[in-house]
Amino acid sequence: MPISLPQSNSSQQELTLKHKELEVLSYETEIDGPNGIIIFRGGVKATFDRSTLTANELIIRRGVTTDPAVDVISGSKTIKLRPKEAYANGKVAVVDPDGHLDASNLWFTWDPDRAKEVTGIGETVEINIGNSHVKADKMSRSGQGYDLTNVSFWTGNWRTPLFMFNAESVFFVPAKQGIAKHMRISVFGVQLPDIPRYVFSLDPRASGLSLPSVGFRQGAGIGASWTSSFPVNDSATISTSITAFPNVQPTYAISYSKSYVKEEDLGVNQYYISDQFGERSQFSFFGNIYMDSLSSAFDRMKTQKNLFSVNSTFNYETLDRVTDRTTNYSQPIELGYERGGPLGKFAYLYQLKASRIIESGDRSATRLGIYGSTFLPLTHHGRLTAGTRIDGAARIDASSSGYIGGETGFNYDLTGGLSVSTGAYGYKNFGNPLFLGDNFRSNQGYVMRGDWLGKSSSISMMFRYDPTQGWFDREYRLTQVVGPIEPVIVYRQSPRQYVIGIRFRTNDIANTLRQRKLRREESDANGIKK
C-alpha cells in the first residue's frame, strides 16, 4: 500500500550520498523516518558534486540495501523505491559543465553495488550540449552505456535544421562506440535513405563519426568528401575515406589500424598514419596553415603512438610536391608501423612502411620507407615561444633516396588571440628519387605568418620565401561560425589549393561523448569511499 507521509516544513536538508554531500533546497518537506523517505516539493534545487537538479518534486530514499522496496505516490503515479534511490518529477532539469538535460521525470540510484545495472532512467528527455541538441522518448544509463529510444539529433537553433538525424534507438558507450538502428539523415532539408544499422566510433584515437563536407576546389569544381571510422574492438578500427569532385578522379581509401597504446594514454587521432606523398611533416607550424601554434604542433607530436596499419589508397594527389595537380598515386597495399610520443622533454615520431606504389596508373614499384621526426623542447620567454623540429627519411626501392633537415622559429602572442611568427627551414636531399612526387616544392627558405584566433572566427595568413624561387607561397585560412555551420575558406598557393567548405558544428557533443567515462569508485555498504 502506498505510503502517506505527514507534512513538515523545512527550507534545507543535507544528505550524504556515496562520499559527497547532496544539498537540497525546497519549500515543503515530508519525512517518513522508518522507511528512510524524504519528499521535497516546491522549487526543489538539489546540488551534488558538479551537477544541479531542479524539479517540482524530488523523492529520496535512504536506508540499507537489503530493505524491501516500498510504494510512494508521486502526482498521479505510484513508484517503487528501493534504498539509495531517488525520483524527480515535474519540469526536471539537470545542469552540469557538460551540458543541460530536461525531462518529464528522472529516476536514479547511487548504490555502488548496482553499478552494472541500470542506474538512471529519464522520460521525454531533451539534451543540449553546446550547439548540439538531442531528444528522446526515453533514456537509460547503466554500467554498460547509454540507451535512447525514438531519438532526434540536430545542430543549431534554426527553425529548419540544416543537419538532422532520427533513429529508432541509439546505444553508445562513451569513449568507445555507438550503434544507431534505423537511422534517417537529413542534410539541408533533403532526406537520405534509411540506414538499418550504423556503428560509429567515439574512440578519441579515431576520426569517429563525421559528417560529409561540401567544398569548392579550384580546377576541380564543387564536390564532397567524407571520412569515418568503424570500431572493430577496443583497440582496432576500420577507416574509410571518399572524395568526389567533377573535374578530377575520385579518391578512395580504406585502412585497418590497431593501436597498442594503453588506455590511460589515449589521445586524439592515434589511429591515423600520415601519407608518404603528403606534406613533409604533419607537425609543421611553418609549413601548414591549419596548425595554429608551435605549442599545438609540439603537443600533437607528444601524443602517444604505437600503431600498426594496413592501407589501400587510390588516385591520391600529392601535397606540397612538384607534382601537385598533375600526378596522382595509388597504393593497393601499404603496411605501416608508427611509434611516437614524449621522450623526456622531447617529442618524437618514427614510421616504417612497406608499400606497392603506382604512379598515375602506369609506373609502379615496391618500396620500404623509414621516416622520423624529433621536436626539441619548446622554450618560453613571457609571450614568446620558440621551437625546433628535425626530420629525416630514407626510401629503399629501385633507386634509393631520402632527406634530412628541419625547421625552427618563434611564435609571439600579442593580445586578444593575435600572434605573429617567423621561422626558417632547410633540408638536404640524397640519392635519386624514383618517383617525381618524391620531390618537395621547396627545400630551404623563410616563413612569416600571423594568426588571430577568436571565439567564433579565426584568420591565419602565411608567406614563404625560397632563395631559389622568391616569394613562392602565400596561404590564407578564414573560418566564421554562423549558427549551426562553420564556413571555411582556405587558399594555399603552394600546394595549390583553393577550398570553400561548410562544416556542421558537432564538436561540442562529440568531444563530450569521447571523454566521458562510466566508472564508479568502490564504496563500502554505507556508501563511503574506500
Contact 273, 257 (CB under 8 A): yes
HSE-up of residue 260 (Cα within 13 Å, Cβ side): 8
Mean pLDDT for the chain?
84
pLDDT of 524 over the 60 cut = no
Which pLDDT belongs to residue 256? 94
pLDDT the model gives residue 16: 46
Give residue for cell 579518391. 251
d(Cα 315, Cα 341) in Å, to the nearest integer? Answer: 31
Contact 315, 331 (CB under 8 A): no
Are 370 and 350 in contact, with CB atoms under 8 Å apart?
yes
pLDDT attached to residue 155: 80
Q: Please tell me which residue, 49 or 450, carries the higher pLDDT value.
A: 450
Q: Are 79 and 107 in contact (CB under 8 A)?
A: yes
| Amino acid 269: pLDDT | 66
Q: Is a pLDDT exceeding 50 seen at residue 4?
A: no
Q: How far is residue 248's CA from residue 244's CA, in Å, rounded to a whole number?
A: 8
DSSP 123-159: EEEEEEETTEEEEEEEEEEESS-EEEEEEEEEESS-S
* CB-based contact 242:402 (threshold 8 Å): no
How far is Cα 351 from Cα 171, in angstroms, rounded to an integer? 36
CB-facing half-sphere around the CA of 513: CA atoms within 13 A = 25
pLDDT tens column, 454-492: 888 899 999 999 999 999 999 999 988 776 677 788 888
Tally the C-alpha atoms within 13 A of residue 496's C-alpha that lie toward its C-beta.
10
Segment 489-509, tens digit of pLDDT: 888 887 677 777 766 666 667
Q: pLDDT digit string (tens) for 237-254?
A: 888 888 888 877 889 999
What Rg value do the Cα atoms of the chain yield, rounded?
28
Say what the pLDDT of residue 335 is.
97
pLDDT, tens only, 149-200: 999 998 877 777 777 889 999 998 887 778 899 988 887 777 778 888 887 7
- Could you tell me the pTM of the whole model? 0.69
428, burial (CB in 10 Å: exposed 0-12, middle 13-18, buried 19+): exposed
